[in-house]
Amino acid sequence: MENEELFPAAAFIFIGRDPNTAFVKDIVEADKWGFITISETMETSMEGVFAAGDARGGSTKQVASAVGEGATAEP
């Protein structure tokens, strides 16, 4: 395998991958890692409460995706 020097326009660094969801642990369902479980419409186990971005299970951990998820949530 050859070495190749790259010149990226940007680099994205994860500070942490643990969800900060302890404040809702007794309110909505979460997976064993603490990520909030959601439906196809981004709704949590509590009717009318939605989750998007890094707090939800299966997220891509990217800002653009989180913004799109927020727009996708529908009551």
In a domain, 1, yes or no: no
In a domain, 65, yes or no: yes
Average pLDDT, the chain: 88
In a domain, 3, yes or no: no
pTM over 0.95: no
In a domain, 30, yes or no: yes
In a domain, 66, yes or no: yes
In a domain, 60, yes or no: yes
Q: What is the pLDDT of residues 12-71, one digit of tens each?
A: 766 667 888 999 999 999 999 999 999 999 999 999 999 999 899 988 888 888 888 888
Report the domain count for the chain.
Answer: 1
The secondary structure of residue 4, as a DSSP letter, is -
- Which domain does 58 fall in, by range? 20-75
**Residues in Cβ contact with 71 at an 8 Å cutoff, skipping those fewer than 6 apart:** none
Q: Is 73 exposed, middle or buried (0-12, 13-18, 19+ CB in 10 A)?
A: middle
